[in-house]
């Protein structure tokens, strides 16, 4: 399977799990002070970008070509 397809599947599954966790935790955060809510939602809204960036760089990376075989005389 090509690296891009693997990254797509991992990215979609990971993002769905992340959104589920953020939404589940949001119920508890809504009872707290508004500054805590703001910090939580800013962090939760940005935190997914770092793993997604690493996954995209991994998917776009080219594998080095296989070593050339030399002919024996």
Q: State pTM to two decimals.
A: 0.74
Give the mean model confidence (pLDDT) for residues 20-37: 95
Instruction: Report CA-CA distances (Å) from 2 to 13, 20, 40, 55, 67.
Output: 17, 28, 36, 14, 20
> pLDDT class for 55, splitting at 50, 70, 90?
very high
């Amino acid at each position: 399977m090509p690296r891009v397809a693997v990254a797509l599947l991992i990215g979609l599954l990971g993002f769905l799990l992340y959104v589920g966790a953020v939404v589940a935790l949001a119920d508890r955060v809504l009872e707290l002070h508004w500054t805590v809510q703001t910090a939580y939602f800013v962090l939760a809204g940005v935190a997914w970008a770092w793993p997604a960036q690493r996954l995209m760089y991994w998917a776009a990376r080219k594998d080095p070509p296989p070593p050339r075989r030399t002919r024996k005389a």
